[in-house]
Amino acid sequence: MSRILIADDQNDVLEALRILLKGEGHQTDAVTSLAGVFQALEKKDYALLIMDLNYTRDTTSGQEGLEVIPKIQALDNTLPIVVMTAWATIDLAVEAMKRGARDFIPKPWDNDRLLTIVRTQIELGSALRKGRRLEAANQLLRGNAPNIIAESPRMRPVLEIVSRVAPSDANVLITGENGTGKGLIAQAIHALSNRASHSMITVNMGGLSEGIFESELFGHVKGAFTDAKADRAGRFELADESTLFMDEIANVPMNQQAKLLRVIETGEFERVGSSKTLKANVRIISATNANPHEEVAQGRFRQDLLFRLNTIEIALPPLRERREDIMPLANSFLRQHAKRYRKMLTGFEEKARDVLMQHQFPGNVREL
């Protein structure tokens, strides 16, 4: 179901279009002026705008509508605009398309043709928006699907939980010491999920200062602050229909946790500098090296936020408790680096293996 904005100064036209589009499963909002168009666009996102070109009484030139098309495009150049008028001419249609309209419908309209145009333009607009999101997301990505080495019995329950919960949309909280592979498990969950066709978006919450917290997560509009030279999508917007991995989640300051809770609960947020509410369908995977329940008990983390994050909780064991994985991991790393540096290295001497097996690895897999 798509949301369509209709602009026309005649109420009977608005009602006829509302009934026709409702029959196709669309939601509609109606306005009777061009000022109303801009007010509506500031508050909501629409899949399509159908607008009349004439609003002043006894005006038939279409200039009123033609003049605002570029202004609407400046607000959102992915929004398809279909114009309509009872005073249709070829020249008027061509001029409207030149200024940014996607199609032209004369009044009175043919229902079948109008519905075909609506379907086509909504599909094209959706494809364009997804392409823009993918382009922006690709700039943030690092790496691909993970290769998990886990032969230890301590890791079997972890892999079982991953395989069981990955296909769902349940939020997942991954806990464990630094270097235990929380990011790798997050990648695995995403790769096995129904969202795997979209790129997972990652953000290190511990690295976000309070000054950039909202801008990074929710985006900003041009001019929102000194360095905001252009509109920028935030991580939630980029992760629409995908997965957002929030690392070091326990480091989020208390005063920012309420803002995070709201978007996780509702999927709704506003870019910094804008009052327009956006909505994103995002699966949350978060990670922390802290004990989240202790953080709640100490008053450093909101309990209601923890409830939203840990629908499923996965605790990763430290490497010293999964010693069966030390040599398989070491051999894998050796092969990777031997190939990278073009060295003919095939394994470890017995003394080296003994040293590795006896070491406690306080830094876990990252230290290895």
The predicted structure's pLDDT at residue 324? 94
- The span from the CA of 80 to the CA of 123, in Å, is 10
CB 341 within 8 A of CB 312: no
The predicted structure's pLDDT at residue 75? 75
Is the peptide bond preceding residue 167 cis, with omega within 30 degrees of 0? no
Q: Where are the alpha helices (DSSP H) in the chain?
A: 11-22, 34-43, 63-75, 90-99, 111-138, 156-165, 182-191, 213-218, 235-238, 254-266, 292-297, 303-309, 326-340, 350-358, 364-367
Q: Which of 299, 300, 284, 293 is nearest to 252 (CA)?
A: 300
Helix axes 90-99, 63-75, angle to 10 degrees: 20
Q: What are phi and psi of 151, to 5 degrees?
A: -95, -15
The predicted structure's pLDDT at residue 206? 87
CB 209 within 8 A of CB 251: no
- The span from the CA of 137 to the CA of 277, in Å, is 21
The predicted structure's pLDDT at residue 284? 96
Tokens coding 286:
């978060």
- The distance from CA 103 to its chain's CA centroid, rounded to whole angstroms, is 29
The predicted structure's pLDDT at residue 36? 92
Tokens coding 317:
């064991």
The predicted structure's pLDDT at residue 168? 86
CB 102 within 8 A of CB 82: yes
Task: Return the H-helix or E-strand segment holding 175.
Answer: strand 172-175
The predicted structure's pLDDT at residue 135? 56
Low-confidence residues of the chain, pLDDT below 50? Answer: 136-145
Other C-beta atoms closer than 10 Å to the C-beta of 226 total 6
Domain 153-317: homologous superfamily in CATH: P-loop containing nucleotide triphosphate hydrolases (3.40.50.300)
Domains 3-133 and 153-317 share a fold: yes
pLDDT tens for residues 48-72?
A: 999 998 887 766 677 888 988 988 8
Q: Which of 313, 282, 288, 77 is nearest to 199 (CA)?
A: 282
Domain ranges of the chain: 3-133, 153-317, 321-367
Read out DSSP for 225-271?
STT--S-EE-HHHHTTTSEEEEESGGGS-HHHHHHHHHHHHHSEEE-
- The span from the CA of 109 to the CA of 354, in Å, is 82
Could you tell me which CATH number the domain at 3-133 has? 3.40.50.2300
This prediction's pTM: 0.64
Q: Is 207 exposed, middle or buried (0-12, 13-18, 19+ CB in 10 A)?
A: exposed
The predicted structure's pLDDT at residue 134? 59
Third-level CATH fold of 321-367: Helicase, Ruva Protein; domain 3 (1.10.8)
Contacts of 10 (CB under 8 A, 6+ apart): 52
Task: Return the H-helix or E-strand segment holding 205.
Answer: none
Report the Cα–Cα distance between both ends of the chain, in Å, rounded.
51
